[in-house]
Amino acid sequence: MTMPTLHLRLLGDFSLIYDDRQVTSLNTMRMQSLLAYLVLHHDVPQQRQHLAFLFWPETTEAQARNNLRQLLHQLRQALPAMEQFLSSDTHMLHWHPVTPFHLDVAAFEKTLTLADAATQRNDQHSLQAALEQADSLYRGELLPGCYDEWILPERDRLRQRHLQVLEQLLRLFEVQGDNVTAIRYAQRLIALDPLSENLYRRLMRLFALNNDRASALHVYHTCVTTLQRELGVDPDTATREAYERLMQHETPVIPARAQQTLLAATPTLIGRKQEWEALQEVWHVASTGEPRFVLVTGEAGIGKSRLAEEFLLWASQ
């Protein structure tokens, strides 16, 4: 007979499903925190003394160990099947390594590993798929209602990894020329990091490229208001210059008819994928306000001019 799988969700909110049934009896934050710690560290046996000090650092050792015994008892009462996953003696707690369980945090990090592997292979299609899956798995911060000391660095680490996912997706869609999708990711990033002027500049530029100058200007004014309210400072020079270019109509704008036929990837250049992607990457960095220089060299007749001309056409759109 197959053993039922334990499904545990810690990102965004707490959810426990066992044998296809929602378990609602783990209804205290301290029980959820202890279970989360044990599952996140399932590959390492845990000393009772360590857990007692970790969860009750301000009490005596005897009181902390007694608190741990009571909490473990409550955990087993709330989920009797816990005995199939967790064994204990007077000194240690052991999570059974062969017991089937699914943890959303582990799935999120496994998907990040797939994304890293796709990056190494320069497989853009697989990279995008892995990043989008990772984004869908990250439903929110790790156990958001818990403020135990142990969870804070882990919560921040996972949050930073998710920000990196969104940043990579933003860059992918910028390079592809999919401004509408890139705008959505830039907006999400700003909501999570509202003091990043680089993100405001990128969003302004994306709106301008999408022939929406009004929204681009609104982004600038939101940036000004946010920086004044939170830090009491004005935007830096690069952000002000981006705004002035918008006011002077210097930012390239896509005509309305061209929006539906925007170049999405590379042009029809044969054998120049590596050079093309290098140019796109430098262009992306330069578009944020950081000056870059590119020198195209090679023997006569190998397509240097064609490459430069195609890139200028792509950048103008």
State the pLDDT confidence band at 257, using cuts at 50, 70 and 90: very low
Q: Is the pLDDT of residue 62 over 90?
A: yes
Q: What integer pLDDT is reported at residue 81 of this predicted model?
A: 86
Residue pLDDT, tens place only, 134-167: 999 999 999 998 999 999 999 999 999 999 999 9
β pairing state of 101-103 and 6-9: parallel
Distance in angstroms (rounded) separating the CA atoms of residues 62 and 52: 9
pTM as predicted: 0.74
Per residue in 162-211, pLDDT tens? 999 999 999 999 999 999 999 999 999 999 999 999 999 999 999 999 99
Name all domains of the chain by residue range, CATH numbers in brackets.
6-102 (1.10.10), 104-257 (1.25.40.10), 266-316 (no CATH)
Angle between helices 237-247 and 213-231 (to 10 degrees): 150
The mean pLDDT value of the chain amounts to 86
Q: Could you give the CA distance from residue 137 to residue 103 in angstroms, rounded to a whole number?
A: 11
Q: For residue range 82-134, list pLDDT tens digits in order.
A: 888 888 888 999 888 778 889 999 999 999 999 999 999 999 999 999 999 99
Residue 23 to residue 20: CA distance in whole angstroms: 9
Q: Output the CA angle 254-210-294, nearest 5 degrees.
A: 70
- The CA distance from 237 to 229, in Å, is 19
pLDDT, tens digit (0-9, with 9 covering 90-100), for 298-317 = 765 566 666 775 666 566 55
Confidence at residue 302, expressed as pLDDT on a 0 to 100 scale:
60
Instruction: State yes or no: pLDDT of 6 exceeds 50.
Output: yes
Q: With H, G, I as helix, E, B as strand and everything else as coil, classify residue 103.
A: strand
pLDDT tier at 297, thresholds 50, 70, 90: confident
pLDDT over threshold 60, residue 269? no
Q: How confident is the model at residue 261 (pLDDT cuts 50, 70, 90)?
A: very low
Residues with Cβ within 8 Å of 102's Cβ and at least 6 positions away in sequence, in order, are 5, 6, 7, 8
pLDDT tens-digit series, residues 223-255: 999 999 999 999 999 999 999 988 886 544 444
pLDDT category, 258, cuts 50, 70, 90? very low
Q: Quick one: pLDDT band at residue 215, thresholds 50, 70, 90?
A: very high
